[in-house]
Copies of this chain bind each other. A is one copy, B any other.
C-alpha cells in the first residue's frame, strides 16, 4: 500500500501522515511507503515504513507525474490556495485549485491504475441562493472563488470516478479549529487564533460577536475522517462521491467556554474583543446550518464536544513551554 499526500506539509496533511504512521495499514493492507509532497519541503514523519518527502507543484503536470506513479495506490489531494488568498490572487486559485486537481486526475487517467483519490472540498461551496439546511445535495452557489474551485473539483472527482479513471471521494471540510501553528490566509483564521494564542499565553483578537455561529471540526477528527474516507467502499458511497464531512455548530461564546472548562479562566482574559467590520462583512455571509447525513451513515464523526477539541490541541499540538 503506497500512499501519496499532496499537501503533506500542511496542518491536515501532517496530522493525517502521523495517524497513518501509527495505524500502519490502510484499506486492509500494510503501508509500505508514504510520500509527503508539497510546494515547500514537508516535515518528515516517523513511521514503521518508508516515508519520503518531496516538492511538488500540482499546477505543473510534469511535477505531478513525478509524484503520482504506477505504484501509487491512494492519493490524498489536500493542497489548496485558501479562501482569502484565492480571492486576492484569482490566477493562483485557478491554477492550483482547478488545474492542479485536473492535472492529478489526468495523471491517474493516463496511468490507468485507478487509484483511490481522497479530495478535500470545503463548506465554502455553500452560499448565495443555496437554501438551508445545507448538505450533501446542496446546489453549489459559492460566493468565493475558492468555493467555486472546490465545487468544480467535486464534479471532476465524480466524473473521473464514474468513468473508472479513479476511485474518488470528496469531503467538504468544516472549518478546522484548533489549527496548530501560525495564522494562515483563510478568512476563518481567527476561529483558531482566539483559542490557540491564549492557550499559549498570548493575546488574540476576536473580530466578531460572541453569538457568531459556525461549523467546526478538530484537526484530529478531520484526519481520522480522511483515513476512514479512503477506506470507504465505493459502492456504499453511491453516485455522488462528494459529501459533507461531519462537524458541529458552536458559537464563539461556546468555544471560549469550552476552553475555560478545560484549562480555567485565565486564557479567555487574553482575548481582545475588537469588532472588525471588514471581517464581519465576509463571515456574516458564511453558512452554518450544515448536515453530514451521508458521511455520518458511513461512520465518519464530528467531535463529541468542543472541550474534546481543546484537549486534542493540548495533547497533539501545543508547543512545549
Contacts and interface: CB of A to CB of B under 8 A. Distances in A.
Interface stretch (A19-27, A29-37, A135-143, A184-192): A135-143
B137 A131 contact: yes
Interface string A264-288: 0000000000000000000000000
Nearest to A157: B148
A100 to B, nearest CB: 14
A89 B155 CA distance: 18
Contacts of A131: 137
Given A138-B139, A141-B158, A238 B129 contact: yes
B148 A137 contact: no
A54 interface: no
Nearest to A138: B139
Contacts of A308: none
Interface residues of A, number: 28
Interface in A104-155: 109, 127-131, 136-143, 145, 148, 151-152, 155
Given A129-B238, A141-B158, A90 B152 contact: no
B143 A140 contact: no
A162 interface: yes
Given A90-B163, A152-B152, A152-B155, A137 B145 contact: no
A156 interface: yes
A164 to B, nearest CB: 11
Contacts of A148: 155-156, 158-159
Contacts of A143: 162, 239
Nearest to A139: B137
A240 interface: yes
B155 A140 contact: yes
8 contacts: A128-B240, A129-B240, A137-B138, A138-B139, A139-B240, A142-B159, A145-B163, A152-B155
Give the 7 A-B residue pairs with the shortest CB-CB distance, closest first. Answer: A128-B239, A148-B159, A137-B139, A129-B240, A141-B240, A152-B152, A148-B155
